[in-house]
Amino acid sequence: MKRRTFVKRVGAAGIAGLAGCAGPDADSRGTTTGTSGGTDELAGTLRVATYEPFVDAPSVSPGAWIKEAFESAYPDATIEWQTPNSGLNHFIQQAQYDDEIEADVYVGLNADDLVRADDELGETELFEPLSADTLSNGDSLIEELRFDPAGRAVPFDTGYISLVYDAGEIDEPQTFADLIEPAFEDTLLLQNAQTSDPGRAFLLWTIANRGEANFLDYWQALMDNGARIAGDWNAAYTAYSNAERPAVVSYSTDQVYAHRNDVDMQRHQIAFLDDQGYAVPEGMARFADAAKPELATAFLDFMLEPRTQSEIAVRNVAFPATTTADPPESFTEYAHRPPETVTHTYDQLAGSIDDWVSAWAEQIASG
């Protein structure tokens, strides 16, 4: 991976033909970030990469609002959204394959994304660490949502994984133990932890709740009790909506949608197992090779402004990451916060998550 920075600098100097001859690796970042030339540092095009529903979903997507609001705050700047199909993996692989990273900021990082990126890239830094005082709005961040010990990813919102259940069909499942009782036989829909974010979060929640030594036994009991695992959230939620099962793993903001669509609230009750919810903070970060580092920093700061935070809460249907946000009542009334939040730290995930997910998946697939 060291070759990449070398190739890029040499390539820029116009002697790319020599790229194969490895040279001493010098950290090029210091030189690239400081020298944005004579142009206004807060002008030009800012390339913001994100996952595609963030800008293109018909029901909720904050992308358009963010672009408009940011561009009116910085009249000389333009946001160019990028939504590579494979998400963050696209950029990890670009770094691996010596390709130029054509983005300045990534929006929508989870802790396990970051673990994977670091695992794959080793010494190469995909993202730039931001010192605490870089962001003027950094003080308002809710401290417990910070998930990157290296300070690269800045949280901008968070969801809490919980159960959504149909109170007309079943009683409220109150504990993890309830779910393996006969009363909850054939009731639960889950998602594949290998490929789905909420699915993975629920798996991590069971590990936090039952312990590393026992979670597989718990899952065996869960499956024996007729739980079913769909590929992704959409498939699981669609089946839940079609009344195939009366409970589904989803987010604790579910009623915000239900309220918008005037749907029967009985069918959208939130259950926090063991009075917990698993926190999945979403972060954003500046690419180490960002062409517009100052503009990128301004963007990160803008994302933490109270007004932006309130809008993201409504438009992304997730809780704000700052204490200064003031989302409207239509959000706060129906978005439920768990009494206690659970999550894994970066350090707990690093080195373990792959093994956990593999062991889990092999057990499920082996039936």
Partner 1 sequence: MNLKRGGGRIGRLQYWTGEYALRGVAVVTAIVLVVLFYYPVGTVLANGLFGSVEGTNPVLAVLGSEFYLGAASGLTDPSAVPGGVLDWMRAGFPAVDFGLVGFTVYQALLSTLASLALGLPGASLLAHYDFPGRETVRSLTMLPFVLPSIMVAIGFVAMFGDQGVLNSFLGWLGLESVSVMYTLQLVVLAHAFYNAPLVTRIVGAAWAGLDRSKIETARGLGAGPIRAFVDVTLPQLGPAILAGALLTFLFTFMSFPIVLALGGLELATVEVWLYARVQQLELAQAAGLAVVETVITLSLTYAALRYESGQRGLGRGPNRKPLIGSLRDPRRLGLLAYGLVVGIVFLGPILSMVVESLTGPGGPTLEHYAFLLERQATGASYQVKPLPAIRNSLMFGLAALGIAVPMGVTVAVLEDSRIPGSRLLGTLLMAPLAVSGIVLGLGLLQGLVFGTELFGHRITVTGPVAIVAAHAVAAYPFVTRTVSPMLQQVDHRLVETARVLGASRGRARFDVELPLVLPGIVAGAALAYAISVGEFDSTIILAEGSSSYTMPVAVERYLGNRTLGPATAMGTVLLGVTAISFVVIDRVGGWWEP
- The one-character DSSP state at 219 is H
Q: Which of 25, 120, 274, 301 binds partner 1 (CB under 8 A)?
A: 120
- Cβ 6 vs Cβ 22: under 8 Å: yes
Q: Is 86 in the site for partner 1 (CB under 8 A)?
A: yes
Binding residues for partner 1 restricted to 331-360, rule: CB under 8 A: 354, 357
- Show the binding pattern over residues 156-195: x = contacts partner 1 (CB under 8 A), - = does not: ------------------------------------x-xx
Alpha helices in the chain (DSSP H): 2-12, 29-34, 53-56, 63-73, 88-96, 111-121, 197-210, 215-224, 233-241, 254-260, 293-304, 306-316, 329-332, 346-349, 353-365
Conformational region of residue 243, where left means phi above 0, alpha means psi within -120 to 50, and beta covers everything else? left
CA angle 30, 300, 303 (to 5 degrees): 180
Residue type, 311: E
Q: Is 37 in the site for partner 1 (CB under 8 A)?
A: no
Q: Is 150 in the site for partner 1 (CB under 8 A)?
A: no
25 or 120: CB nearest partner 1: 120
- Cβ 53 vs Cβ 61: under 8 Å: yes
* Nearest approach, Cβ of residue 219 and partner 1 (Å): 11
Q: Is 244 in the site for partner 1 (CB under 8 A)?
A: yes
Q: Is 248 in the site for partner 1 (CB under 8 A)?
A: no
- The one-character DSSP state at 288 is T
Q: Which of 33, 36, 94, 352 binds partner 1 (CB under 8 A)?
A: 94
* Nearest approach, Cβ of residue 192 and partner 1 (Å): 5
In the complex, the residues that contact partner 1 under the rule CB under 8 A are 16-20, 52-53, 55-60, 63-64, 67, 80-83, 85-86, 89, 92-94, 97-99, 116, 120, 192, 194-195, 223, 228-232, 234-235, 237-239, 241-244, 257, 261-263, 317, 354, 357, 361-362, 364-367
